[in-house]
Chains A and B, each alone.
Chain A
């Protein structure tokens, strides 16, 4: 089944404790991205990647890091999480030449930073 998976689905952590949220897709997509969603603000793009080893900032990259060492994986790293990063996070992917057509989203990761 074609899908985007994220792990963990739920995470409660404390301020300053490094964490990684994994994202993996099995559709051989070149384009992947991360979003955060907060009440009243809609989805905001954090980072995106057009291919292996190619990443770029979205609208809200502060406090986050990403890496794209393999085509299928695009982990989101919070080196020193803070409470304002409490949010619902979504990973998405699409074929590079169809990025304007359809994004496939993962199920989401709900992160709480205490």
Chain B
């Protein structure tokens, strides 16, 4: 059973900033929030991970509020190649935390 809740789908025009929000109502203290991207017929690919506040890399930004009950993946100026399914996960960092649970993800469609 997925631990997180996220929208099933989103549409965006090319060049716009896209924000995908995920709910983490029961996140554990030692869990990290991790986002993966999956293109059709390919395995998921790690995008970004954070614990609290804001994390930015060359691909995306991740915003996590102080209460950690939600997270927002921000994709700046999307292009057609960003059309994919995006998954948010809660991943434990403690001893014995090796099971990963993916939800259904958010299907992002970028429109020309």
Interface residue ranges, A against B (CB under 8 Å):
4, 31, 33, 35, 40-45, 48, 50, 56, 58-59, 88, 90, 92, 99-108
Residues of A within 8 A of B36 (CB): 103
Complex alpha-carbon distance, A108 and B46, angstroms:
16
Verify B44–A41 contact, CB threshold 8 A. Answer: no
Verify B102–A100 contact, CB threshold 8 A. Answer: no
Interface residues of B in 34-64 (CB under 8 A from A): 34, 36, 41-46, 49
Complex alpha-carbon distance, A100 and B97, angstroms:
8
Interface residues on chain B, number (Cβ under 8 Å): 26
Interchain Cβ contacts under 8 Å between A and B, 22 examples: A42-B102, A42-B105, A43-B102, A45-B101, A45-B102, A56-B98, A59-B1, A59-B99, A92-B43, A99-B91, A99-B100, A100-B34, A100-B49, A100-B93, A101-B34, A101-B46, A102-B49, A105-B44, A106-B43, A107-B43, A108-B42, A108-B43
Given contact pairs A101-B49, A103-B36, enumerate 16 new A-B contacts (beta carbons under 8 Å): A4-B43, A42-B2, A42-B104, A42-B105, A45-B101, A59-B1, A59-B99, A88-B41, A99-B91, A99-B97, A99-B100, A100-B34, A100-B49, A100-B92, A100-B93, A108-B41
Residues of B within 8 A of A90 (CB): 43-44
Complex alpha-carbon distance, A100 and B101, angstroms:
12
Option from A4, A33, A41, A50 in Cβ contact (under 8 Å) with B100: A33
Option from B41, B93, B100 in Cβ contact (under 8 Å) with A103: B100
Residues of A within 8 A of B43 (CB): 4, 90, 92, 105-108
Residue of B nearest to A88 (CB): B41
Complex alpha-carbon distance, A88 and B105, angstroms:
16
Verify B42–A107 contact, CB threshold 8 A. Answer: yes
Complex alpha-carbon distance, A88 and B44, angstroms:
12
Verify B93–A58 contact, CB threshold 8 A. Answer: no
Residues of B within 8 A of A58 (CB): 99
Q: Is B65 an interface residue (CB 8 A)?
A: no
Complex alpha-carbon distance, A5 and B87, angstroms:
22
Verify B44–A43 contact, CB threshold 8 A. Answer: yes
Complex alpha-carbon distance, A101 and B32, angstroms:
8
